[in-house]
Amino acid sequence: MDKSKANDVVSLDSIIRESAGQKKALLNFSKTYPAYIILAVAIAISFVIYSYLRERVDSDNQKVFDKAVSSVMTRLERKHQTNVEIIQQLQGVYKSLTMVVKDFFDLYASVPANTYPSIMSICYAPLITPKTKDDREFDMQRAGILEFKVYPEGKRSDYFPIFYIVPQKKNYHLFGKDLAYNSVVREAIEKARDSNMFVSTSVIDLRGNDSLGFYVIAPVYYKDSAINSIELRKKHFMGAVILESDVNIFFEEALATNRIASDTSIIFFGIEESLTNKIYYTSTNYDLSKFDYDKLEQTQILHIADKTFTIRFATIPGFGSGFQQAVPTIVLILSLIISFAFSGFVLSVITSRARALDLAERMTRSQRRIVDMSNDIIAVLDFDGKWKSMNPVSEQLFGLKPTNLIGKSVGELLVNSNELAPILKRIRSFPDSSSERVDVLMKGKDAQEIWVSWNLNVSKEDRLIYTIGRDVSLEKKAEEEERLKSKQIQLAEQFTKEASEYKSLFMTKLSHQLRNSLTGIIGYLQLISQKIYETDEERDSFVELAEQSSEELFTFVSDIVDVAQGSDGEYKELAAIPINATINELGLLIKEETRSAKEIIINILEDSQDITVLGDYSLVLDSLKNVLLALSEGVEKIVLDVNASANPHEGAAELQILSGPNKLVSEMIELYKKHSADLIGSLKQDKNDVILNLAMAKSKLQTISGTMSVESFGAEEGNLVQISMPINKQIES
C-alpha cells in the first residue's frame, strides 16, 4: 500500500462497508472438508436405506406371491381330500357289512355324486370270474337291471363289471362295463388290491369321447378277512369302489370356491401330469406366459392318490411395479436431495464464518490499526446473534479475547440474556444498510456491569450485522445521578410542602371551629336581646357590647381564613371522600395515565365498610395513587385486596391494602423501613421509584393528619400498606 493511502483518514463506518462489499470464493478443501465428509456419509446412508427398502419390497412381493400360490394349492388339496373322504366312507360301509345291496350303496353315494359336478360317477365293480359270470349277470337282472350284461364281450381271466353306479340315470348305460378291459384301469385296480391303498389312474379318456378324467380306486375286501400280505389281499379281494372325476371340472370346481382376487391378479399357473408333462388345466390368464419379462416363479406338486401333478406358478406382468415398488427409488432420490441440501447448509455455515473471518483478514493494515486502536467495539454478528469477528477492545471491556468470543452468542455477555433477541429478530426485516441504535447493560471485566451503546448496521446480502459499540457507562451514570437528584429534590419539595400544607390545614380547621363557636355566641346573644331584664338600658348596653365584640372576633377569624391558603395560593377546601369508589377509579386512572400494559386488579373485600374520609381530595387521590404505583412495580399483573373500616373512638378511618408476592417491592420496603430517617439519601438504592412513591404517599397523608405504615411478609408472601385518615364529620358553616 502506498504511503498516501496509508495516511488517508477513514471513518469506522466506511471501513465496515468497504469490507462488507468484498467477495471471495472460500471453497478451500482444507476449510470445507467436513461438508464433503458429511455428504459422502449421507450418500452412503442413502444407498444403505435404498438397499434395505429394496430387499423389504422384494420380500413383501415374495410373501404376496407365496400367499397366492398357497391359496391355490390349499383349495386343490382340499378338493382332492373331499373326494378321498367320499370313497373312504363307502369303503368303510363295505368293511362294516357282509353284503352291501344296491339300495344301500345308492343311499351313501348319491348325495356326494349329485353335489359335486366334477364327480362323473361313483361305482362299485366286484371281481368276478368266467365261472361266476353268468350267475352274477342273472342276479343283477333279477335285481332290476334287466339289460345287465358284462361288456365288452370276450373271455378274460377275470372281470370288474360295474354293478352299482350313481347317478344312475345318466350312467345307466355303464352297468356291466368291464373296467378291467382297459389295461390302465386294470393295473390301477390290481395296484390298489395289492397295496390296500387308494390308487389313481393317469388322466385318460374315460368314456371314449375325449372326456378326460381319472379314477380314484379304493380296494374292498371281504369282511373281517386277513389282509396282512399280498397273497391274503389277493385271496380276500372282493372288488373296488371307484370315483370317476372329470379332470377339468375337478380343477375348476376346486378353484371356484372362495376365490380371492390375488390369485389371478398376481399369478398364473398351469397344471400338468408329472409323468407325461401334458398340461390338463391352466388359469384364465395363462397366455401371459408367452411374454418375456421379469417374474417370480414357483413349482408345486399336487398328490391325487398315488399320482402327482406338477403346477407351475408365475407372477403376471406388472406385479410389484406399483407405488410400493417405486418407494425405494423415491426414498433414494429424496435422501440424496436431503444429503446435498444438508451438506450445502454445512458448507454455507463454514464459508459464512470463513467469510466473516476473511473480512477482517482482508482489511488494510492502516484500517486494521484504526480498528485495533479504537476504544469502540467493532464487530460482526450473524442473524442468529453469534459473533463472527471482534476487535481487541473486547479484552479491555469484557475481559475476553476476540478468539474466545467468535462463534458464541451475544446473549452470553448481556445481563439480561434475552434483551437483544427481539431487536435481532426485528432487524432482519429492515432494508439493506439500515441501522438501529440500542443501549444494553452488559457483563464487563472483573464482574462489573457496563452500559454499551450499540449501532447495528444490517447487510442482507452477507446476512450479517456490522456493529459498533461504545462504553457509555459514565454517561449512564451521570443520567442516573441526574435522575436521582431530581427525585431527591422532588421528595424534599414534598416534605417542605407537607409542612406548609399542614399549617394551612391546621388554620383551616381552627377557623372553622372558631367560626362555628362565634356563630353560636352571636345567636345566643340575639336571643338574649329579646328577653326582658330589670334594666332595659343595662341589658341593651351589654348586648350591644357583646354583639360588637363578637363581630370584631368574627372579622378577625375571617381574616385568619384568608391567611390560611395553601402554598399554591388556593384555599384548601375540606371534602367528604368515599374511599372504596376512589380506589376503584384509581386502577383505571393509573393505566390511562401511564399507558402501560400492566394489569392492576383491585379487590374490595366483602367486610370492607363503605367509609368516607375528610380531607383535601387532590391530596388523598395523589397519595393513594402513589401507594398503588409502589405496590404494582416489577410485575405485569397485580391483585390488591382492600379493606376499609371506621374507628369512631379515635375519629379515624383505617385502610388496609394487601398485595400479592412481589420480590422487588419486598426488597424496597425493607430499604424504606431501614432508611426511614433518611429517605432522601435512600433514593440512591431505589428501584422503579418504589421508595419515592411510598415516601411521597406518606408525606401527602400527613398533611391531612393521616398516617401510613408499610410491612413486607417476604418475597413469597406479599406486602401490606396501612393508612389512617380523619373520618368525615359534618362541617357547619
Long-range contacts of 345-350 (CB under 8 A, 24+ apart): 346/34, 346/35, 346/38, 347/27, 347/32, 347/35, 350/31, 350/32, 350/34, 350/35
Please tell me the predicted confidence (pLDDT) of residue 5.
39
Which of 316, 402, 388, 313 has its CA nearest to residue 352? 388
**Regarding beta strands 199-200 and 212-221, do their DSSP bridges make them parallel or antiparallel, or are they unpaired?**
antiparallel
Q: What angle do CA 464, 467, 470 make, to 5 degrees?
A: 170
Backbone angles phi, psi at 690, to 5 degrees: -70, -50
Q: What CA–CA distances, in Å, run from 113 to 77, 106, 179, 243, 274?
A: 19, 10, 19, 9, 28
C-alpha cell read off for 54: 429394496
Is 570 in a helix, a strand, or coil? coil
Please tell me the predicted confidence (pLDDT) of residue 150.
94
* 441, 421 contact by CB (below 8 A): no
Low-confidence ranges of the chain (pLDDT < 50): 1-12, 14-15, 18-25, 259-262, 366, 563, 566-567, 569, 571, 730-733
* 319, 291 contact by CB (below 8 A): no
Residue pLDDT, tens place only, 250-270: 998 888 755 444 455 677 777
C-alpha cell read off for 356: 466473516
C-alpha cell read off for 721: 400498606
Residue pLDDT, tens place only, 496-510: 665 566 566 666 666
Sequence-distant (≥ 6) Cβ neighbours of residue 574 within 8 angstroms: 505, 508, 509, 512, 614, 615, 616, 731
